[in-house]
Structure 1
C-alpha cells in the first residue's frame, strides 16, 4: 500500500513526562507538533501509585493522574497525538523522517523521549510467565490481585524495596531475593530501614533466579545461591522484577551516538550528535531518572527546538 505523507514542525517520539513537556513547550510556541506514543500516554510514570516528591502536589499524586494533567495541557496547546509504534527513522537530513506502519511523517526537528523498558532476569522459562501469567513489573497495577498471597520481589534498589513495602499492604508475605550479602542493598536508607522492620518481608541474600516454574501460571521460583550454587525452591503466587531498565534506542542505533549501555548521549541543551534532533528523559545518559528531571529535560528541548526551527 502507498503510505500517506504528513508534515510537522516537531515530532516527539514517546509520551512520558519528558515527551509531554517537550510537546507542551513546542505547542505553546505555535509549532505544529505531533507526539507519537506506542502504548500509554504518561509512560512508566503511570505505573507509579504515588509520586510524593514532585513539586506542587503536597499530598502526593498518582502517576496516572499526573499524566492526565500533562496530556490535557499538551492538548490545550493543540499538540496532535498518535498512538502507534515507530518502525524506522531517518534523521540525518534537514527533512527528518519518522515512519509508522501507515504513515511517513516529515519534521524539521525530532525530540526522542522513548524511555526504557524493565530489564529481565533471562532465567529459564521467564518468557512463559511474563505480565499476566505471574511475572509483573508494576506493584501498583497488580498488588490487589495478590491480596493474602505470597509474592517474590527480585532486586534491592529503591524501586524493588519501595514497591516491596507497598506490596505488604496486600500480600501476606513478600520474599525479597537480593544478589548481595546480608544487609547490603542498593536502596536508600529510609526504605531499607522500613523494609528490615516490616514483619511481612523476608530477605534471601546472595541469590539470583535460576528458573521460573508452573503450569498455566507461575507457582514457584527457583533461586540459586551465588556463593554455594545451592538451588532453593520458593513457592509463590507471583513475582515482581525490579532490576533496572534498558533504554528503547534500537531504531536509533545507526544514527545517534549512544553509550555502551544504549543510552543517548546529549549535551546540557538536550542536543544529540545530529542537528535538530534532541533527546529527553530516561532514554538519555544522566544521573537521576525521575519525573522532575524528565520535565526539566522536556522544557529545555521544547525551548531549543523553537530556536532551531526559527533558524532553519
Structure 2
C-alpha cells in the first residue's frame, strides 16, 4: 500500500447520526481535531423520517433530513473534519488503531468513537418503501403522535412490538396487530397486557399482503397464511416492529457485544472493552433509540475520549 494512503488522527468518529455529529461537535470544541466518516447513510435513520416533533428546541417541529443538516453544519463550524466514506475493516490489536475506509485508505487513530447506528428491519414490500414517512414508520414513539384518534396497524410479535402496540393504543382509536404465527414471542406479562387492551385487535397467522394508498397510507390488506383469506382494513398509519439490526459487523470478535450485535458499554460511560474505543447511539442502545438519547451518548463519548487522550498525554 502506498504510504500516502495512511493518515494519523487523534480521534476518528465512525458514523454520522445524532450520536456521531454530537460527538464531533464536542470533540472539535475540545480541540481534538476529530475526523468523522459519514458511512453508508449520512445523517442516519432521521434522514428517512419526515416530521420530527419530539427533538427539543424546535417548537414547530422539523423535518428529519433538515435536522441532520443542522447537526452537520454545527459540527463543521466547530472545526470537525467531515468526510464521505465507509469504514470497511478494523485492526484494534494495538495503538494506533487501524481503520480501513472504502477498503482503500487506512486511518491510524489514537481513539475511536463508534456511532454506526442501527437499521430497522423491514418487510421488504414495495408499498412499504414507497409510503415510508407517509404513514409507514418503524418507530411508534417517534411517530404515533401524528395518528391520534385514528386507526393504525402494527406488525411484530416480540416485546418491542407489544410495547409499541400498547403505546399506540393510548393515542389511536384502534390498533390492528398482525402476528405471523399463532403465538407471540413477547414475555407473558406483555402478552397479557396486549390481550387485555380493548382497542388492540390481534390477527393471528396473518401477514401483510399490501399497504394500500397512493400518497399516504389508506388501508392494509391482510392475508391469513393458514386459510389464504384476505381482508382489507382501513388505517392511516402502519408500524413495523420486527426489530433492528445494529451496524456493528466490522467490530465482531473484537468489541464485546450482546447476542443481537449491540455493542456493550461500561454502565455510566461510553467505554467498550477496548481501551480508547467508545460507542454511542443506537449501535449500543437497544432500549431507547431516540435522536435525543443518541445525541446525549455522543456527548458522553466525546468527553470520555477527551479524558482518555489527555491521560495518555496525546491531548
TM range (shorter): 0.7 to 0.9
- Mapping of residues 51-70 of structure 1, within 5 Å: 51-70=52-71
* Distance (Å, rounded) in 1 between the aligned partners of 2:163 and 2:172: 13
* Distance (Å, rounded) in 1 between the aligned partners of 2:16 and 2:112: 13
1:23 aligns with 2:20: no
Aligned equivalent of 1:107, options 106, 109, 114: 109
Change in Cα spacing, 1:118 to 1:189, as seen in structure 2 (3 Å) is closer
TM-score normalised to structure 2 length:
0.73
Structure 1 residue 242, shift from structure 2 partner: 4.1
Structure 1 residue 223, shift from structure 2 partner: 3.0
Change in Cα spacing, 1:197 to 1:241, as seen in structure 2 (3 Å) is closer
In the other structure, the counterpart of 2:194 is none
Change in Cα spacing, 1:207 to 1:84, as seen in structure 2 (3 Å) is farther
Aligned equivalent of 2:140, options 158, 165, 175: 158
In the other structure, the counterpart of 2:120 is 118
Change in Cα spacing, 1:138 to 1:300, as seen in structure 2 (3 Å) is farther
Change in Cα spacing, 1:240 to 1:135, as seen in structure 2 (3 Å) is farther
TM-score normalised to structure 1 length:
0.74
* Distance (Å, rounded) in 2 between the aligned partners of 1:253 and 1:279: 14
In the other structure, the counterpart of 2:86 is 85
In the other structure, the counterpart of 1:249 is 248
* Structure 1: segments with no counterpart, 5+ residues: 144-150, 169-173, 213-219
SS across alignment from 1:35: strand
Structure 1 residue 106, shift from structure 2 partner: 0.9
Structure 1 residue 203, shift from structure 2 partner: 6.3
Change in Cα spacing, 1:210 to 1:298, as seen in structure 2 (3 Å) is closer
In the other structure, the counterpart of 2:13 is 12
1:170-225 Cα deviation digits (max 9, x unpaired):
xxxx8735456xxx953265632443259xxx96622443878xxxxxxx976345
Task: Give the aligned length.
Answer: 271
Confirm or deny: 8 A CA contact 1:154 1:178 kept in the other structure: no
* Distance (Å, rounded) in 2 between the aligned partners of 1:41 and 1:112: 14
1:44 aligns with 2:53: no
SS across alignment from 2:113: strand
Q: RMSD over aligned Cα, in angstroms?
A: 3.5
In the other structure, the counterpart of 2:203 is 205
Confirm or deny: 8 A CA contact 1:119 1:246 kept in the other structure: yes
In the other structure, the counterpart of 1:73 is 74
* Structure 2: segments with no counterpart, 5+ residues: 176-199, 211-219
